[in-house]
Amino acid sequence: MRRERVLKRMPGQCPVPGARAGGRWGASRRSVAGLMAALLTVLGLLAARPALAAPAADPFESFNRAVFSFNESLDKAVIKPAARAYTDTMPELFRLVLGNFFSNLSDPWIGVNNLLQGKPLDAMSDFGRFALNTVLCFGLGDIASELGLRRNNEDLGQTLGVWGMPSGPYLVLPLLGPSSLRDAGGRVVDIALDPSRRIADGGEFAAFTAVRIVDLRAALLPMDRLAEGAMLDRYTFFRNAYLQRRQHLVYDGNPPEPSE
């Protein structure tokens, strides 16, 4: 009978190589995938209906569709094959470690945005996550989640939305994908303040970013078939999904009722 290898560690100790990939260490990655699956299912139903004020939100549709087509071609030719090769060749444990490392780097800036949005308790959780995972796990594990410090999702675009700035026209950015005028400005600052710039610069930062993109795309591979089955027009689906998702994030899941 095949003996299953399990992770042996004391309470509060970081996971180490040899752990089961299906343990709590990988819970955060699986929860992200589960959330994306649920989101795509719901948004697939919503996208079948005309989005509220969609034409007014997309005055640059011709330009956006051209950029969207470019991004789709690049994904099909380069990014998606790289993500598949990464998934097929790299052990799941390695991918979990790398995903935790990237997530850990994001926590301080998420905390800053929570402070700017007037949510000090969430900010303390973000800074606490970074401190615990960095000191105890060198950023390679997610012991903070085991201790009840959940990971938040905040960026400067959301902060500007909380401050009352409208999203502005929908905008598709080369390589970066769906955005809006407000969120595009926020992304410039997000990228400029990316903590990974402190550990890599120039060509190293470009390589670091490429690995980060492939890792993120690999996490979304299971959603491809679901997304393809849920849409008639990929551009319209992703536009509606993005705008609705961003509104959901700005209002922390409680957006105001649309006016008649």
26-39 residue pLDDT tens: 444 444 444 454 44
Tokens of 168: 């502005």
* Residue 47 binned pLDDT confidence (cut-offs 50, 70, 90): very low
Residue 259: inside a domain, yes or no? no
- pLDDT value, residue 120: 97
Residue 157 in contact with residue 45, Cβ under 8 Å? no
Tokens of 177: 């994908």
CA dihedral for 126, 128, 130, 132, sign (positive or negative): negative
Q: What is the 3-state secondary structure (H, E, C) of 4-33?
A: CCCCCCCCCCCCCCCCCCCCHHHHHHHHHH
| % of the chain surpassing 70 pLDDT | 72
- pLDDT value, residue 255: 82
Residue 195: inside a domain, yes or no? yes
Tokens of 213: 């993109």
Residue 255: inside a domain, yes or no? no
Name which residue leads in pLDDT, 259 or 53: 259
How confident is the model over 36-51, as a mean pLDDT?
44
* d(C-alpha 65, C-alpha 248), whole Å: 24
Residue 227: inside a domain, yes or no? yes
Angle between helical axes of 61-74 and 234-250 (0-180°, round to 10):
100
How confident is the model over 147-175, as a mean pLDDT?
95
- pLDDT value, residue 246: 94
In sequence order, the 6+-apart residues with CB closer than 8 A to the CB of 121 are: none
- Characterize the bridge pairing of strands 177-180 and 170-173: antiparallel
Domain range for 106 is 25-41+61-250
93-131 residue pLDDT tens: 999 999 899 899 999 999 999 999 999 999 999 999 999
Residue 17: inside a domain, yes or no? no
pTM over 0.85: no
Residue 54: inside a domain, yes or no? no
Residue 103 in contact with residue 130, Cβ under 8 Å? no
- pLDDT value, residue 38: 42
Residue 20: inside a domain, yes or no? no
Q: Domains in the chain: how many in total?
A: 1
